[in-house]
Amino acid sequence: MQVIKTIAEMQQFSLNCRRNGQTVGFVPTMGFLHEGHLSLVDQAKNESDIVVVSIFVNPTQFGPNEDLDAYPRDFERDESLCENRGVAAVFYPPVDQMYDDNFSTWVEETALTNTLCGESRPGHFRGVTTVVTKLFNAVLPDVAVFGQKDAQQAMVLRRMVRDLNFPIKMIVAPIVRESDGLAMSSRNKYLSNDERQRALSINRSLISAGELFKNGETSASVLIDSIGSEIAKNGGKVDYVKAVSQDTLQEVESLEKPSFIAVAAFFGKTRLIDNIFLG
Ligand code: AMP
């Protein structure tokens, strides 16, 4: 497995693969890898001849009071996880390789980013769409795989790929969970044992809402209230619980059409997100 740190070498690597008739699958990450990330590698392997994983903690998607500096990092561990999973190359650029001092060009999606995490984290998605564009231009993939855990992000990036004509097949892979149901996340490392136990209320409340829905409950406010109160009862501070359309991300009052419920909640200082697709 190669570790590549410059954009020029990354492009050369992919162009060589393509010249040899190999398709390139790509999994962008911020590192501190877990089985959720590695499941995306497996999906990419199914869809392409070789897999590239990027590891880049992207400063432009963090707000001024967010956890950029504290974000967990362990490159050596990530490297061996990738190697063992059959990754062909890890793209691991330093920040100055991705952003020049006078960097001034942004990519922005404007219809799907005003709600959910876009509302709570102003500028976040502009950072995501910009860095993913830059990573696409460095890695030149045929296929890119993202996780349903970040459902809004996946929708925004799918829209960007369509709107800007990237010749890339987008795949969205299911949420991978710990055995107790907590959605895997690099940020779970921040949780104390007590916070982690209490954070299980997120998934538990989503499952209960899913059961209510299966039994015929379609009122968004009933489902949202049941989730919000379960999380609050466990000491979580709800950032948002919203039921939104799977097509437009607009809030829905009734879950008769394909929708999902998205949650963001703080346990201690740690902000966790999760979701359930219904209908
Ligand atoms: P991150 O390193 O958190 O930026 O995530 C990189 C990619 O992994 C994104 O496409 C995420 O949606 C995906 N991902 C993160 N956690 C999970 C999970 N628990 N299950 C599936 N995909 C995930």
Determine the Cα–Cα distance for residues 14 and 142; give it in Å rounded to an integer: 10
* Strands of the 237-245 sheet, one edge to the other: 237-245, 259-267, 270-278
Chain-wide mean pLDDT for the chain? 98
Q: What tens digit of pLDDT does each residue of 151-182 get?
A: 999 999 999 999 999 999 999 999 999 999 99
Q: How many CB atoms lie within 10 A of CB 133?
A: 18
CB of 176 within 6 A of ligand 1: the answer is: yes
Query: Which amino acid, residue 189?
Result: K
User: 236 — alpha (psi -120 to 50), left (phi > 0) or beta?
Assistant: beta
Query: Which amino acid, residue 223?
Result: L
Residue 37 annotated among the catalytic residues of the structure: yes
**pTM score over 0.95:** yes
CB of 185 within 6 A of ligand 1: the answer is: yes
Q: How far is the CA of 70 from the centre of ligand 1 (A)?
A: 18
CB of 203 within 6 A of ligand 1: the answer is: no
Strand partners, 91: 4, 54
Ligand 1, atom 11, residue with closest C-alpha? 147
Ligand 1, atom 22, residue with closest C-alpha? 147
Q: How far is the CA of 233 from the centre of ligand 1 (A)?
A: 27
CB of 58 within 6 A of ligand 1: the answer is: no
Taking residues 182-210, what's their average pLDDT? 98
Q: How far is the CA of 37 from the centre of ligand 1 (A)?
A: 5
Ligand 1, atom 12, residue with closest C-alpha? 147
CB of 227 within 6 A of ligand 1: the answer is: no
What domains are there in the chain, each with its CATH number? 2-173 (3.40.50.620), 186-274 (3.30.1300.10)
Q: What tens digit of pLDDT does each residue of 4-44 get?
A: 999 999 999 999 999 999 999 999 999 999 999 999 999 99
Taking residues 56-68, what's their average pLDDT? 97
Determine the Cα–Cα distance for residues 191 and 185; give it in Å rounded to an integer: 11
- Residue of 27, 28, 33, 37 with catalytic role: 37
CB of 127 within 6 A of ligand 1: the answer is: no
CB of 234 within 6 A of ligand 1: the answer is: no
Under DSSP, is residue 208 helix (H, G, I), strand (E, B) or coil?
helix
Q: What tens digit of pLDDT does each residue of 86-117 get?
A: 999 999 999 999 999 999 999 999 999 999 99
Q: What tens digit of pLDDT does each residue of 223-275 get?
A: 999 999 999 999 999 999 999 999 999 999 999 999 999 999 999 999 999 99
Q: How far is the CA of 215 from the centre of ligand 1 (A)?
A: 31
* Tokens 């044992």, located at residue: 193
Give the nearest ligand 1 atom to 153 CA. Answer: 12
